[in-house]
Structure 1
Amino acid sequence: MDLVLKCAQFPQPGETIAANSFNEVSGGKGANQAVSAARAGAQVKMVGRVGDDAFAGRLVAGLKQCEVDCSTVLATQDCESGLALILVEESGQNTIVTVAGANARLLPADIDSLRNLIQQSDVVLLQLEVPLETVRRVIEIARETETRVILDPAPIPQGLPDELLQVDLICPNEREAEQLTGMPIGTPEQIEAAAKALYQRGAKHVVITLGKQGAYLFDESGGRLIAPFTTDVVDTTAAGDAFAGALAVYWAEGMNVDDAVRRGNAAGAIAASRLGAQPSIGARSEIEHLWKTQS
């Protein structure tokens, strides 16, 4: 659950400020991306855990309302659901602190029973808000069953092993790409160097999302900038998740990766133009409308 406070500017250490508003909004990177994929037209099954607190039922109900299959979302006793405290500046930029809660209880044993589900899927979309050993197990099964894997590597833990980067597509934002590579990102040359470094570590396609600048794609064909879409930025909280979910759907449908990334840019721009996480994610018709009006 995202607890969202809007404020004029972020507080400095030791400073107390007054927020302009407060909202509780269903969130979580995996859940946001599931909603994005569903709204982009896919049949989506969410794998995860919620706690036994007051938020659990609301989180699952919100996903079901978005037509996400939650039959593999497990309830966890004596545990809180995942939580995020999000501060949003008037500029639309945000800062986020998360509590893993039940997310930390999703274990490899939970995944072993889902081999058939993974095998039957066109794409498995992963994030790092669950234990790394669980992510590793999903990737292992997906590789064995030849199922395409997209990894949104956030939040980035200390010492992320290269084997978790060896997926079909990885889509960090600028800051995450810096953390993964230890390389500064600012100039076009630096962006290309970081993307190439991630490609050399095993990702078949690397997409670094650049906000208003679009996205940079690197694969066996080399590197290229995928153009952005223009919207008025209100809150960037779920923009990256909207991007990943839409990209996954269009790519799974057979669209080439460049155009799928461009559709992802459209989904991210729509989400950034609205407040909140899941409520900000646009439908496929909105993605296509933005594509047609700005292409």
Structure 2
Amino acid sequence: MYDYDLLVVGSANADLVVGVERRPAAGETVLGGDLAVHPGGKGANQAVAAARLGARTALLARVGDDGHGRLLLDSLRAAGADPAGVLVGGAPTGVALITVDPSGDNSIVVSPGANGRLTPDDVRAAGSLLRASRVVSAQLEVPLETVVEVVRTLADGSRFVLNPSPPRPLPAEVLAACDPLIVNEHEARVILGEACVSEEPADWARLLLARGPRSVVVTLGARGALAGDASGVTRVPSVRVEAVDTTGAGDAFAAALAWRLGAGADLAGAAAYAARVGAAAVTKPGAQESYPTAAEVDALCRTVPGGGARTPGEAGGVPAAGERGGAR
């Protein structure tokens, strides 16, 4: 019996958000609206998103002993996520500087702060937390060696889900543990490198599977997603909604996918549910504030037919249109 449906290991940031009429070009200054400060970070976002859906969720992360750190801890508690694994101190809380244009697209610069101090030793010290979790989800806004240690510390029978954002080449032992590896188009190209010999996303899924993951999900923005495993590659449709702010939508997708897989859903079914969660998230401003409850996702399913539109943001990293999908 697991104590947690999902343990998220990853970053916790304060999101400093400014609305702009358009994002500045190199060397250009533009005026924006009032600054808003929101709880964010890929790890904290995923933990809040899963908890809002009803998953028993915990977070292993590091924040500073400062106001931004307290903001993040309060947000976790309010969503029902367990912050017992959140370490405090070592550096200021990480910060993401975000600009959002009228279409909902965003651009982001991250100062890692305390996220860069989440170490393999911290993972080893939290071994009991990992062993108590049915699914463990990670990203790459914390050091790669920390994610490697997560893979090495996983309990037998636990499932590992990785969104490699920001993307970088991955060790074979990490790829082999992924079930699934969740990437957007940009991340797929980076991880495949010279092996990315096709422009067809279905081929990317197959090429990624050949690298060792047990399963792969490639998110395609308005074109939905592809879910691939040993049985083949399945297309998952997007959901038609009016996007207000794509910030954090990909994190909602990744959290919902991980939770549904742990609950026994098949890969395509879990990805379809995650697409609806991501779609609901883009209809509200902000990241964690936008995440739906299970009842709100059900209501969206009743009122919005499937179809190609701009949603669910990418599930990880910086999506094709610059949305902070999985990355925020």
Determine if contact 1:119/1:146 at 8 Å carries over to the other structure: no
Is 1:14 matched up with 2:27?
yes
Equivalent residue runs for 1:193-272 within 5 Å? 193-272=203-282
RMSD (Å), alpha carbons = 1.7
Q: Name the counterpart of 2:322.
A: none
1:175 maps to a residue whose letter is H
* 3-state SS of 2:140 partner: coil
C-alpha contact 1:234 1:272 (8 A) present in aligned 2: yes
Q: Matches of residues 52-71 of structure 1 in structure 2 within 5 Å? A: 52-71=65-84
Identify the residue that residue 139 of structure 1 maps to in structure 2.
151
Choose the corresponding residue for 1:125, options 137, 143, 146: 137
Residue by residue over 1:53-110, the C-alpha shift from the partner in whole angstroms, topping out at 9 and shown as x without a partner, is 2211111111111111111101114x11011001111111111110111011111111
* Structure 2 residue identity aligned to 1:249: W
Matches of residues 93-132 of structure 1 in structure 2 within 5 Å?
Answer: 93-132=105-144
Q: Does structure 1 retain, via aligned residues, the 8 Å contact 2:234–2:268?
A: no
Provide the residue aligned with 2:11 in structure 1.
Answer: none
Gaps of at least 5 residues in structure 2 are 1-13, 307-328
Matched position secondary structure for 1:70: coil
Q: Which runs of 5+ in 1 are unaligned?
A: none
Conserved? CA contact 1:2–1:24, under 8 Å: yes
The equivalent residue for 1:176 is: 187
Q: CA offset at residue 184 of structure 1? A: 10
Identical-pair percentage: 40
- The Cα offsets for residues 182-226 of structure 1, whole Å up to 9 and x where unpaired, read as 3799x9x61011111111111111111112211111111111210
Tell me which stretches of 4 or more aligned residues in structure 1 moved more than 3 Å.
none
Distance 1:30 1:67 in 2: 15
Partners of 1:183 and 1:243 in 2: how far apart?
A: 28
Structure 1 partner of 2:37: 24
TM-score w.r.t. length of structure 2: 0.84
- Paired residues, number: 290
C-alpha distance after superposition, 1:267-294 (max 9, x if no partner): 1111111111100111111112223443
Letter paired with 1:176: E
CA 292–256 in structure 1, closer or farther in 2 if over 3 Å, else same: farther
Q: Tell me the secondary structure at the aligned position of residue 108 of structure 2.
A: strand
Q: Which residue type is aligned with residue 133 of structure 1? A: E
Taking the aligned partners of 1:261 and 1:152, their CA distance within structure 2 comes to 14
Aligned residues of 2:39 and 2:72 also touching (Cα < 8 A): yes
Deviations 1:7-58 (A, max 9, x none): 1111011111011342111000000000111011111111010012221111
| TM-score, structure 1 as length reference | 0.94
Which of 81, 85, 88 in structure 1 is aligned with 2:100? 88
Q: 1:183 to 1:272 in 2, by over 3 A?
A: farther
Structure with more helix by fraction: 1
**Structure 1 pair 184–175 and aligned structure 2 pair: CA distance change class (3 A):** farther
